[in-house]
């Protein structure tokens, strides 16, 4: 019985996610779901993406946090429309929250909406939020074993970003191991080595993202990667 309740929540979330996709396909907005651990560098990376793409695209940001509005203030200071979503303890964002926030943006004038999900490598991966693309961030201090330990997050992403590469000399972190593990479970996803601090590798990442956004805006639709395999394994 309890398992059934969980399924219903996920199925309901899928329905709402489908409605968001229809709305954003119609308005030609590319929705990006950025996920990673607390402190992995999500907000820092969003700032870099904004700097790289703001001249080309109209960008909006949804900042998801359990509490506070620190990240939204950072984005607001850049002159970018932003909404702070506070989950009041919840450890992931659901599609319903995004659906309620969308009217706060002028989506007809927006090209790109980036959602910074709650810092967590587990359940955000299970909840579609109507995104066109998922980007997962793993930072060097977290360790190079995370792809093996949290497979769903890394299997259901469109790109993996290894962040904080500037501190590689101080950590026992093998980028090749992470790339090999990622390739085993998600061979289509590119892996970018970046530093949000120095800006190294950001160009390659934003060029990839630019191409993905342009495809969504020109075709109006994206074939999304399913989260769960046909066998229904979710890890
Ligand atoms: N050395 C180094 N520090 C970084 C890098 N990127 C981010 N940081 C630092 O890491 C800390 C966390 O960065 P944030 O961008 O706030 O991380 P976040 O993932 O948004 O964190 P939450 O929103 O709290 O989950 C800050 O002190 C950043 O300055 C990087 O590439 N190199
Ligand atoms: Mg943040
Ligand atoms: Zn959760």
Nearest CA to ligand 1 atom 7: 41
Environment of ion ligand 3 (residues, CB < 5 A): 91-92, 123
- With contact defined as beta carbons under 8 Å apart, do 193 and 175 qualify? yes
* Distance (Å) from CA 188 to ligand 1 centroid: 27
Best mutation site among 44, 69, 140, 166 for ligand 1, i.e. most ligand atoms within 8 A of its Cβ? 44
- With contact defined as beta carbons under 8 Å apart, do 105 and 80 qualify? no
- With contact defined as beta carbons under 8 Å apart, do 129 and 93 qualify? yes
Enumerate residues lining ligand 1, CB below 6 A.
36, 38-44, 71, 119, 163-164, 166-167, 195-197
Ligand number, closest to the Cα atom of 73: 2
Best mutation site among 37, 43, 68, 116 for ligand 1, i.e. most ligand atoms within 8 A of its Cβ? 43
Q: How far apart are CA 63 and CA 125, in angstroms?
A: 17
Q: What is the pTM of this model?
A: 0.94
Coil, strand, or helix at residue 205? helix
* Distance (Å) from CA 197 to ligand 1 centroid: 8
- With contact defined as beta carbons under 8 Å apart, do 9 and 3 qualify? no
User: Can you give the pLDDT of all 235 residues of the chain as single tens digits?
Assistant: 666 655 678 888 999 999 999 999 999 999 999 999 999 999 999 999 999 999 999 999 999 999 999 999 999 999 999 999 999 999 999 999 999 999 999 999 999 999 999 999 999 999 999 999 999 999 999 999 999 999 999 999 999 999 999 999 999 999 999 999 999 999 999 999 999 999 999 999 999 999 999 999 999 999 987 887 654 444 4
The CATH architecture that domain 2-219 belongs to is: 3-Layer(aba) Sandwich (3.40)
Ranges of each domain in the chain: 2-219
């Amino acid at each position: 019985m309890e398992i059934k309740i969980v399924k219903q929540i996920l199925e309901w979330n899928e329905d709402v996610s489908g409605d968001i996709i229809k709305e954003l396909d119609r308005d030609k907005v590319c929705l990006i779901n950025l996920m990673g651990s607390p402190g992995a560098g999500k907000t820092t990376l969003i700032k870099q993406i904004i700097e790289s793409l703001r001249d080309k695209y109209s960008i909006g940001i949804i900042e998801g946090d359990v509490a506070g509005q620190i990240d939204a203030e950072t984005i607001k200071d850049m002159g970018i429309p932003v909404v702070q979503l506070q989950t009041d303890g919840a450890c992931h964002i659901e599609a319903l929250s995004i659906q309620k926030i969308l009217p706060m943006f002028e989506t007809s004038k927006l090209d790109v909406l980036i959602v910074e999900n709650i810092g967590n490598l587990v359940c955000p991966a299970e909840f579609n939020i109507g995104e066109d693309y998922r980007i997962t961030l793993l930072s060097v201090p977290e360790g190079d074993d995370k792809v093996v330990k949290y497979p769903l997050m890394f299997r259901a992403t469109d790109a993996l970003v290894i962040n904080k590469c500037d501190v590689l000399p101080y950590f026992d972190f093998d980028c090749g191991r992470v790339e090999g593990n990622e390739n085993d479970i998600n061979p289509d996803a590119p892996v970018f080595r970046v530093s949000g601090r120095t800006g190294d590798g950001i160009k390659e990442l934003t060029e990839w993202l630019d191409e993905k956004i342009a495809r969504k805006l020109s075709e109006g639709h994206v074939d999304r990667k399913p989260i769960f395999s046909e066998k229904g394994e979710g890890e």
